[in-house]
Structure 1
Amino acid sequence: MKKIFYVLLGICLLSCSSSNDEVVEDTRDLQPDKAYEFYINAPYSSSTSVNNTHYQFTYENGNLKTVFRLTPLSWPIVSLLYQDNQIKVFNGDISSNAYALHIIENNRPIKSEYYNFSSELFKTKLYTYAENMIAIHEKEGNRDAYITYYFNSANNLFKQEILEQKNGLNLGIKTIIYSDYDKSKNPFKKLRLINDICFVKSLSANNFRKIESSYYDLASGATTQTEVYNCIYKYDSNGQVLLYHPL
């Protein structure tokens, strides 16, 4: 029960913090041209997950505009539309009815709404920011998730806690530890809205290469065995992560 207390305490502290703290946009963020699918769609990568399917990115005014999936044919899988403080991320081209609507303040999302192909709202996220912490309340149907991200003094994510609820009842807490950071600049910054995996990867200044995940079941009081994953990156001669390279 102490774990619930600390997770909820962190969320409560964040809810009292202003979400209007000024954030200066880093115009020097990397703009990767291509990336393999396993870097974008998996939280970790290994030699067993390698395949040659890859994505190509286009930008406009420094913002990600389109993500193309390159096989023998090429088609857009994600399209982004920017208007005032809103970003729409479409599943496919901009004529798609399935999209995510992100409300942006100070260059970071404060609310996200997700619509299916029938244009029905099915999921929402509310974001709260505090020093070295981000809290997100995710709601989908009768399920809620309270997600808290914790950062160290180097602006790198070191822990993520997810309190899961169903019909208002606490189910369990998932804890993820991120470590073994490189010194390379993060190439996922401008890819943060593609999916949840890229969002997590985009949060840090550098790139984590180890993930340790465990789950505490509140009904049984049991904790699952910690699962350990490794992220294997290749680097260029300057020590920068390569998201596209010879296999």
Structure 2
Amino acid sequence: MKKLFYFLFVLGIVSCSTSSDDTLENQQNPTDLEPNKAFVYYMESPKVSSLQPSWYYTFNYKNGRLVKMIGKFVKSENIWSPDNFYSDSFTTLSYHNNKIELKFSNDTYPTIVYTMENDKPKKAELYNQFNELVTVKTYTYESGKIKIYSKTYTLETYYTYYLDSNNNLIKSEKLEKSGGLDKALTTTTYSNFDNSKNPFKKLYLLNDNFYEKSLSNNNYRKINYTIQNLQNPEYLPEIGNAEWTYQYDLNGQIVLHHPL
């Protein structure tokens, strides 16, 4: 009887050690890079066209998990107004079983809750300042392909990301609908990959730009994109591109923040 009690006691300790915190730690690869600073230019391109030395994010980690980002970039909606960066704004991440909650300071939509499955996001729910659910994203995974469906009221967006045999992102398509009608299609190709580890792997939940950059094993340094107006197909498509020149350390890894 004493042996049986001891076995059950040990089993109980082992069971407790596989609690939600340990499960969440497994959602992060311990070998992933943990950048502590990053220029906005590297992170938000092609939205940012020039490198601003005073515009940089800082990142904090705990037990191998990202817990805070300081800094917020806001792209101007008016070509005559400058972009802005708020160095005192911050984002915090908290982990609860299979949920990851993001809180944004001074934001109209201050909360996003991610539901995780097999170490990947399965669903994202965005809430406004009144704790009302505004946007829902669902993620599906296929061989060499990731699909995301997003709905905000009557606005729908379909994302498709295509990966090559090296698990690098080579193409994406973004179809926007309004009231059930096709509105715009953005097609982007990614190229000029380096051979370095991807420093965005632990930052992927923070925004859509970081998510796209996190999908590849290595790092693309050039994109070309085309935006087609599906409501007015007679209009010529908008065409653009962006290209980066990263700096690398002695180990061949990207340096996202460096002395200028």
Q: TM-score, normalised by structure 2?
A: 0.78
Tell me how far apart the structure 2 counterparts of residues 76 and 220 of structure 1 sit (CA, whole Å).
Answer: 39
Tell me how far apart the structure 1 counterparts of residues 59 and 114 of structure 2 sit (CA, whole Å).
Answer: 20
Mean alpha-carbon deviation: is it higher for 229-238 or for 79-88?
Answer: 229-238
Larger radius of gyration: 2
The residue matched to 2:212 in structure 1 has which SS?
helix
Match in the other structure for 1:191: 203
Tell me how far apart the structure 1 counterparts of residues 205 and 172 of structure 2 sit (CA, whole Å).
Answer: 18
Q: From 64, 67, 73, give the equivalent of 1:65.
A: 67
1:55 aligns with 2:22: no
Match in the other structure for 2:222: 210
Tell me how far apart the structure 2 counterparts of residues 162 and 75 of structure 1 sit (CA, whole Å).
Answer: 32
Tell me if structure 2 keeps the 8 A contact 1:125–1:137. Answer: yes
Deviation at 1:201, TM superposition (A): 0.6
Mean alpha-carbon deviation: is it higher for 227-236 or for 177-186?
Answer: 227-236
The residue matched to 1:189 in structure 2 has which SS?
coil
Tell me if structure 1 keeps the 8 A contact 2:109–2:126. Answer: no
Query: Root-mean-square deviation (CA), in Å?
Result: 2.4
In structure 2, give the amino acid aligned to 1:63. R
In structure 1, give the amino acid aligned to 2:182. N
1:245 aligns with 2:250: no
Match in the other structure for 1:130: 142
Tell me how far apart the structure 1 counterparts of residues 210 and 177 of structure 2 sit (CA, whole Å).
Answer: 24
Listed as ranges, the gaps of 5+ residues in structure 2 are: 1-25, 73-85
Tell me how far apart the structure 1 counterparts of residues 141 and 258 of structure 2 sit (CA, whole Å).
Answer: 36
Tell me how far apart the structure 1 counterparts of residues 69 and 34 of structure 2 sit (CA, whole Å).
Answer: 12
Match in the other structure for 1:154: 166
Distance change (3 Å), C-alpha of 1:201 and 1:169: same
Q: From 104, 126, 140, give the equivalent of 1:91.
A: 104
In structure 1, give the amino acid aligned to 2:243. N
Listed as ranges, the gaps of 5+ residues in structure 1 are: 1-22
Tell me how far apart the structure 2 counterparts of residues 74 and 162 of structure 1 sit (CA, whole Å).
Answer: 30
Tell me how far apart the structure 1 counterparts of residues 203 and 173 of structure 2 sit (CA, whole Å).
Answer: 23
Tell me if structure 2 keeps the 8 A contact 1:45–1:232. Answer: no
Tell me how far apart the structure 2 counterparts of residues 76 and 167 of structure 1 sit (CA, whole Å).
Answer: 34
Match in the other structure for 1:28: 31
Deviation at 1:137, TM superposition (A): 0.3
Deviation at 1:122, TM superposition (A): 1.1
The residue matched to 2:213 in structure 1 has which SS?
helix
Deviation at 1:97, TM superposition (A): 7.8
Tell me if structure 2 keeps the 8 A contact 1:159–1:176. Answer: yes
Tell me how far apart the structure 2 counterparts of residues 169 and 158 of structure 1 sit (CA, whole Å).
Answer: 27
Tell me if structure 2 keeps the 8 A contact 1:38–1:51. Answer: no
1:135-194 alpha-carbon deviations (Å, 9 max, x no partner) = 000111211011000000110000000111100111231101111111111000001111
Match in the other structure for 1:231: 244
Q: From 94, 114, 122, give the equivalent of 1:102.
A: 114
Tell me how far apart the structure 1 counterparts of residues 252 and 47 of structure 2 sit (CA, whole Å).
Answer: 19
Tell me if structure 1 keeps the 8 A contact 2:188–2:226. Answer: yes
Q: From 183, 186, 192, give the equivalent of 1:171.
A: 183
Tell me if structure 1 keeps the 8 A contact 2:39–2:51. Answer: no
Tell me how far apart the structure 2 counterparts of residues 228 and 132 of structure 1 sit (CA, whole Å).
Answer: 24
Match in the other structure for 1:81: 94
Match in the other structure for 2:79: none
Distance change (3 Å), C-alpha of 1:40 and 1:117: farther
Deviation at 1:53, TM superposition (A): 2.0
Number of equivalent positions: 220
The residue matched to 1:226 in structure 2 has which SS?
strand
